Amino acid sequence: MTTSMKRQARLHVLVILIACTTTLACVQKPVVPSGAARVPINSDELIQQYRERVKSDQREKQERSLLTRQLDSLTQQVQELNTALTLVQLQQQELAKGKSRFSPTMTKTALTSNPLSPESRGPLTNTPLPGEGDNSPSTSDQSLSRTEATQSEEERSTSVGPACSAGPSAAPSPSPPHQIHKEQNGSWRPRVVELSEREQVELHHHSIIFRVSERTGRSEFHPSKPLQSHLKQIMSRGPCLHVRGYTDGDKDLWIERETAKQRAYKARAYLIAQGYDANHIEITIVPIGEHVADNATKKGRAKNRRVEIEVKEQNPASIWPQWYG
């Protein structure tokens, strides 16, 4: 009896082992790759693909840069045309009011106060496009640099208005003895008189400069009542005036040129509205440089953003003795 039970137990264990072995045999084994199909990272094919991708990225970058420069050139041309149109409208308004008569020379000079350079007048095809295999935009950069340099020099040196040689101020008047003595000794120096926080007067031998500081990005000309009184004082004498617009900019950008131009022209429009003869007003635009104070400080920049009205008078001491005495 005992022997029979032991045999049955062994049979049960044997059956269980056979069943487990069969089950394990039916399970699928994972496939381990042999590595024969692997591509090395430094293969010639991958290197060639990388080089082609780099070249394609460079071409796209150059095309975007060229399109950006062309867009900037178009924008600048549009702004210059708008400025010329504004000048024409101002002249038409002045002629309609009957306060001034422009000669043909004056009209031509005013319209060419911001001339389009040869590079900007022509089509965009004047800028050479890079050919196949020419990935360097140096030719286009040089052309744009020449255009900007030409426009900068033109705007620095261009004056709108006749050469101030006519009028009472052109005739030399005798200087007081004390002034002649100071001139001969060389002891007299130009000096500045503060009219207000934003207004100054710079005294010279044969001229006087009224200086009005402007706010950042603003071009309105609103002189104080004392300055209005001084400007009205010279209206009857009719001397030549030289109006100059400045900014506190350090880079020759379009916005600096436009701001300086608007400041000068609005001061000129104010003088004409007060009854001054437009033929006796010169205009000069100075977009950068010629600062009168330290441009690194806030107060200095506030003084450099300015409009200057220079009164060309042979003997300003006779008009403003309180400053020259």
Q: What is the pLDDT of residues 18-36, one digit of tens each?
A: 888 888 777 676 766 666 6
Q: What is the pLDDT of residue 32?
A: 66
Whole-Å CA distances, 62 to 59, 69, 124, 132: 5, 11, 16, 12
Residues in the chain: 325
In degrees and rounded to multiples of 5, residue 195 shows phi and psi of -85, -40
Q: What is the pLDDT of residues 194-240, one digit of tens each?
A: 888 888 888 887 888 888 888 777 778 888 888 888 888 877 777 78
Read off the DSSP letter of residue 116.
P
Q: What is the pLDDT of residues 109-164, one digit of tens each?
A: 433 344 333 333 343 333 333 443 444 444 444 444 444 444 444 444 445 554 45
The SS3 call for residue 187 is: coil
Each as own residue / partner, the long-range contacts of residues 102-107 (CB below 8 Å, 24 or more positions apart, any chain) are 102/278, 102/279, 103/279, 105/162, 106/161, 106/162, 106/278, 106/279
Average pLDDT across the chain, whole number: 71
- In the chain the domains, ranked by start, together with CATH numbers, are 201-323 (3.30.1330.60)
* Cβ within 8 Å of residue 207, ≥6 positions away: 310, 311, 312, 313, 316
Terminal Cα distance for the chain, rounded: 148
Q: What is the pLDDT of residues 252-282, one digit of tens each?
A: 788 888 888 989 999 999 988 888 888 888 8
**In this predicted structure, which of 8-17, 97-106, 233-242 has the lowest mean pLDDT?**
97-106
Q: What is the pLDDT of residue 243?
A: 92
CB atoms closer than 10 angstroms to residue 145: 10
* Cβ within 8 Å of residue 103, ≥6 positions away: 279
pTM for the structure as a whole: 0.47
